[in-house]
Amino acid sequence: MTLLELDGVHTYYGESHILQGVDLTVEKGEVVALLGRNGVGKTTTFRSILQLTPPQEGSIRFREEELTGKDTYEVADAGIGWIPEDRRMFSRLSVEENIRAAVPNNASMSDALELAYETFPVLAERADQRAGDLSGGQQQMLAIARGLVGGNDILLVDEPSEGLAPKIVTDVGEALLSAAESVPILLVEQKLGLALDLADRFYVMDHGTIVDSGETSEVGVDDERLRRYLSA
Ligand SMILES: Nc1ncnc2c1ncn2[C@@H]1O[C@H](COP(=O)(O)OP(=O)(O)OP(=O)(O)O)[C@@H](O)[C@H]1O
């Protein structure tokens, strides 16, 4: 079943025409990678879905319901979770308080904590620590855990490996794979190997449009098909 569907999305910042007709879908149960060089419009695609920068043309449907024209809080309420590049969290609050704050009012707090701590045992060990004192990788896990307990039906994850040491990137990759067992993910990730390992399908973006797409099993990191759009 198609969960999220973008159809001919055009988005501007002022006069700058950034997204020039983006089409993509995410099906239930999938991890989909959105690939492309810096500045091609990946984050803008997320901002368009979230209605933070509303598109001027095209449609964005989530579970067949039109999102364009809604407020961002309504998009969040519809079940779209966002894990931005800066991993927004309450750095002065404890790990557990951060998780608790992400749980919707109508959900069971104990179930949410169990899900978060079973998925990320390292967070259980650090439940009482201030989130701001966690390492970069642990903060990323906390950000993913918050998305996981947030009652979301899809997570938009932006550059989860950004600024992390290689060994930690592997941990975060495993964390995302665990998360993907419960929730579909649309992923922006510069590290091609990681993106291909995690995702079932990929889209390649260039100059604000989708220029290639397919199953990740069809391609490898050195594939010319990807390299032409991804290398600087
Ligand atoms: N708030 C803004 N106002 C004006 N232009 C912007 C704004 N944010 C981004 N842009 C421009 O829009 C284009 C697309 O940016 P976007 O962040 O979507 O790219 P990206 O593919 O996510 O790349 P990156 O990995 O560098 O974030 C870039 O040329 C960028 O300079």
Q: Residue 119 has what pLDDT? A: 87
Cα 19 to ligand 1 centroid, rounded to whole Å: 10
Distance from C-alpha of 110 to C-alpha of 116, rounded to nearest angstrom: 10
DSSP-derived secondary structure for 62-119: ETTEE-TTS-HHHHHHTTEEEE-TT----TTSBHHHHHHHHS-TTS-HHHHHHHHHHH
In this predicted model, what pLDDT tens digit does every residue of 175-215 receive, in sequence order? 899 889 889 999 999 899 999 999 999 999 999 999 999 99
In this predicted model, what pLDDT tens digit does every residue of 57-67 receive, in sequence order? 999 999 999 99
Q: Residue 3: pLDDT above 90?
A: yes
% of the chain exceeding 90 in pLDDT: 76
In this predicted model, what pLDDT tens digit does every residue of 30-59 receive, in sequence order? 999 999 999 999 999 999 999 999 999 999
Please name the residue whose Cα sits nearest to atom 2 of ligand 1.
Answer: 13
Which of 44, 52, 156, 204 is the pocket-test mutation for ligand 1 (most atoms within 8 Å of CB)?
Answer: 44
Cα 159 to ligand 1 centroid, rounded to whole Å: 14
User: Within 10 Å of residue 171's Cβ, how many Cβ atoms?
Assistant: 18
State which H helix or E strand residue 166 sits in.
Answer: helix 166-180
Classify domain 2-216 at the CATH topology level: Rossmann fold (3.40.50)
Q: Residue 44 has what pLDDT? A: 97
Q: Which residues line ligand 1 (CB under 6 A)?
A: 13, 16, 18, 36, 38-44
Mean pLDDT computed over every residue of the chain: 93
The DSSP letter of residue 131 is G
Please name the residue whose Cα sits nearest to atom 30 of ligand 1.
Answer: 39
Q: Residue 86 has what pLDDT? A: 78
Q: What is the ipTM of this complex?
A: 0.93
Q: Residue 71 has what pLDDT? A: 96
Q: Residue 87: pLDDT above 80?
A: no
Yes or no: say if 60 and 5 are a contact pair by the CB < 8 Å rule: yes
Q: Which of 86-90, 126-130, 176-180 has the highest mean pLDDT?
A: 126-130
Structure confidence at residue 232 as a pLDDT band (50, 70, 90)? low
Q: Residue 85 has what pLDDT? A: 83
Q: Residue 166 has what pLDDT? A: 86
The full set of domain ranges for the chain reads 2-216
Please name the residue whose Cα sits nearest to atom 7 of ligand 1.
Answer: 13
